[in-house]
Every structure is written in C-alpha cells, then in structure tokens.
Amino acid sequence: MLTRRDMLALSGASLALAACGQAGQGGADVLRVGSQRGGTKAFVTAANALDGAGYAVEWSEFPAAQPLLEAIGSGAVDVGLTGDAPFLFAYASGSPIKAVQAQMVLKRPAKVLGIVVPGASPAQELADLKGKRIATTRGSIGHYLILSALAAQKLPADFATIIYLSPSDAKAALQTGAVDAWSIWIPYLTMAIADGYRVLVDGQTLVSGAAFDVASEKAIAGKREMLKDFLAREARALDWAAGHIDETAAILSRDTGLPPAIAHELAVRNARQSVPITPTLVAEQQAVLDIFRAAGEIKGSRSVQDAFVTV
C-alpha cells in the first residue's frame, strides 16, 4: 500500500513535470533547474547562493534521476544533478545532454547505495537472490548497482529478474511481497533502513561516487554564461553545506520527512564538493557504460569522451 509520503512524492513528480510543460522554453533570463528530493534546491536555497544573480532560477523537483534526465533531454529543464550511471545511461541511449560539472563525496561512507531486503527475508547474500525479483528504476544508479554487483561475483545479468519501478512504487511492491529486494540510493535507502529493511549488498565499493550536473545541448548553446555562473554558485553552496552540517540536516529533515537524527547522518554521508571534469574522471566513466552494455541494456555506440563539456 502506498503511504501518504509516497503519494506526495508521486504527486510532486507529476506537478514538477506539469510545471516544466507550462514553463515552455523559459525566458532568456531564466535558468530552469531540476532537483531531486532533498537535493540541489535545498542547499542552494539555504546557502543563499543565488543572491545577486542576474537571472531567475525556475525550480522543478523530481523523485529520481530518470524523470529529471527525461525533462532535461526534452528541453523542459536546462540543468540538474544526477549520479554517473543514470546520466551515462540516458546519454548513451541518445539523449541530447552533456555533463558540465562533476561532484564527488568528501568521504566514501557506507550505506549511501544498496540492495535491501525485508528484515525477515532468508536472503543473506546476493547469491540468495537467484531467480528473485529486484525492484529499481531503469537506468538509475540502483539499476547499475544490480548489474555491477552481479558482474563482480561473475554472475549473469539475468541471474535475478529486475522489475523497473519508481522509488515509491518499488517500496510498495517490497512491502507487499510483490518483489523480493529493492536496489536504492539515499535518501530512500536511509528511510528503508529506518523502517527495518536490511542491506544485503552495500554499494560502497561498486560505484565511483561521482555525480554530474547535466545540461541539455540547447541550454549549453544558448545559456552558457548563466550555466557557468549557476555552477559556481552551486559549488559555493556545496562548500557551505559541508561546513554547516546541522543546518543542512535540518533542511533535509524538512524536505524529505526524515527524522532529524537520520537527516543528520545523511548530511554527513552525502557531503560533496565540485571537482573538475578531468580526463581521468572521464576515462573512469567508461567502466559504467561497459557494465550496462555487457548486460545488453544499452545498444548505442556514443563515445564517453563526447559526453562531457566545460562551460
């Protein structure tokens, strides 16, 4: 059964997409920014990072990276932050998008990404999910985690059945037993652990930890100076958030509904900083594409080298 929080998340996504559609192309002095739940909008606003900007920012919020990337690819949103795997999945599938700035977590903490099972599940390791159903969002970092975990143990991509659902629908499916496991990221992972779900696979060593600000090719061409200015302000907001954990935790608690103690833990785990898009970082992303392609999830042949641009 969907909880009130899940319904709010779903309706929030619908309203965000509707707002994107109503916004149209946006004015020449408007930058349309997409944000995931408890993400960019929360800390940029809290840090007052947009004070003095010579343009308006129009926010749209999304429950996950996939709908955000769809909005960017369609031109409804100019820029937004996502993990490396969903970005590369969308890019390799042909979306007219590019990464314009990178972010990395300051530390490599555990339990920011994982495959969870109910507390009473008999599964104790990944091999116990043979033939079982794992829910995640297609093209998400959770999708990548499943494939990466299977590859690391030399198990075939069809070892388990992947069921593609939104985070709220996946949670409902796990609660009712319609699926056996759920591959998810923070803050959903944090909430799942608080609700008594058990982490079967910790994604700490299976993902790079990189995230990217992703922009549409149209925005890169037509709003380059605004993008450059916004990214600099976002970088300052990240530094503010990392240095003001208590304030950041309070914002996360308000925006996500997480209990204050869990929100504080999340703020510590997810503290990030902007970093340059270097040739080394770009080369590391090839491994992400290779995992998706080896599993037959990506058919295109776009080069990873062309997925990044500096504004």
Residues 77 and 201 in one domain: no
Angle of helix 224-243 versus helix 245-256 axis, rounded to 10: 110
Looking at the chain, the number of H-run helices and the number of E-run strands are 12, 11
Question: Does 13 share its domain with 139?
Answer: no
CATH number at residue 296: 3.40.190.10
What pLDDT does 117 receive? 98
Say whether both 102 and 214 belong to one domain. Answer: yes
37 and 90 part of one domain: yes
pLDDT for 109 equals 57
pLDDT of 227 reads: 97
Q: Are residues 191 and 273 in the same domain?
A: no
Per-residue pLDDT of the chain (311 residues; tens, 9 = 90+): 333 344 334 334 433 433 343 344 455 699 999 998 778 998 898 899 999 999 999 999 998 899 999 999 999 999 999 999 999 999 999 999 999 999 988 776 557 789 999 999 999 999 999 999 999 999 999 999 999 999 999 999 999 999 999 999 999 999 999 999 999 988 888 889 889 999 999 988 888 778 999 999 999 999 999 999 999 999 999 999 999 999 988 988 887 787 898 888 778 877 889 999 999 999 889 999 999 999 999 887 899 999 999 99
- Are 182 and 215 in the same domain? no
Q: Token digits for 271?
A: 């503290």
Specify whether 170 is located in the same domain as 301.
Answer: no
Both 80 and 217 in one domain: the answer is yes
Number of domains forming the structure of the chain: 2
Q: Is the pTM of this model over 0.95?
A: no
Q: Which of 188, 205, 222 is a domain's end point?
A: 205
Same-domain status, 230 and 277: yes
Sign of CA dihedral 153, 157, 162, 165: positive
Looking at residue 269, what is its pLDDT? Answer: 76
Containing structural domain, residue 31: 4-106+209-307
pLDDT at 146: 97
pLDDT for res 27: 59
pLDDT at 108: 60
Instruction: Note whether 39 and 266 are within 8 A (CB).
Output: no
What's the pLDDT score for residue 106?
77
Write down which residue in 151, 178, 205 finishes a domain: 205
Give the whole-angstrom CA distance, residue 171 versus residue 157.
23
The answer on 223 and 87 residing in a single domain is yes
Do 136 and 220 belong to one domain? no
User: Which residues are CB-neighbours of 174 under 8 A, at least 6 positions away?
Assistant: 116, 118, 135, 180, 181, 182, 197
Of 178, 205, 232, which one is at a domain's C-terminal end? 205
23 and 158 part of one domain: no
